[in-house]
Structure 1
Amino acid sequence: MRQATHRLTIRTGGKGLIPITHFVTDWITETGIVTGLLTVWCPHTSCSLTVQENADPTVREDIARFFESLVPEQAGRYVHSYEGPDDMPAHLRTMLTQSGLSIPVIDGEPTFGVWQGLYLFEHRRASHHREIVLHLMGEE
């Protein structure tokens, strides 16, 4: 049994879903681990992770639009606004999604379905450098 860890830094361009599948898949290949369990962790409170369709980019647009209506930015609506009007809504959106994922690795690949991809979901308007922590435990 082997373990490997890695930290990815992803630059976001503001709100939206940023595909990160290829970064993760490339790293898994580098580890040489063929069968195991991958943990993907996002140590931030205003962005999150999700597995979602990767074939049609309009899915990402619809998801972003849904979250805008579900958790809108409205001045005066939230007490917490330390970093601006998008701060508290970003925390709520993160709470409604996921900060960590567990993904089986089989034959050296994450076991995504045909239409699935891994995304960093940025909830803030401004561009950020986000860290993603990867931990893979398995066998070669």
Structure 2
Amino acid sequence: MKTTKIRVTTEDFDAGEEIRLAAARSPAAGGIASFVGVVRNCNDGEAVSAMSLEHYPGMTEKALAEIVEKARSRWPLEDVTVIHRVGDLKLGDQIVLCLVCAEHRREAFEACEFIMDWLKTEAPFWKKETTPSGARWVDARESDEAAKARWTNGL
């Protein structure tokens, strides 16, 4: 049975446990690809000491589900898990987990990357970083748009 798990939460997640659960739901999967994003200590050459993420409840989950469906239309995926945290986070905290199970590794890797590229530009999250010069909202990057565009330009 092909499954999708989407969760937006303030709580941390256990990536190893999520992989175990996805593998158990996906006995036909021969490949499991995952990505975990974490709060790093610098951005655009400036130190970062913390991050806060905001979202629109309901709308965010819907956008994530639409991104997963786009991936499912391109690759035969067994299981997809997307967990994204919101609220106040500190250095090293996990932000996002994207986990994809597919029959073959290539589909798993490509779909995982596709979901993350689309999530960065299409999911309604707002990120604020704490820096030595004060808090700042982080705008979308041209590189994020370029990463998303390569999937529509025939990668």
TM-score for both structures, normalised by structure 2: 0.31
TM-score for both structures, normalised by structure 1: 0.34
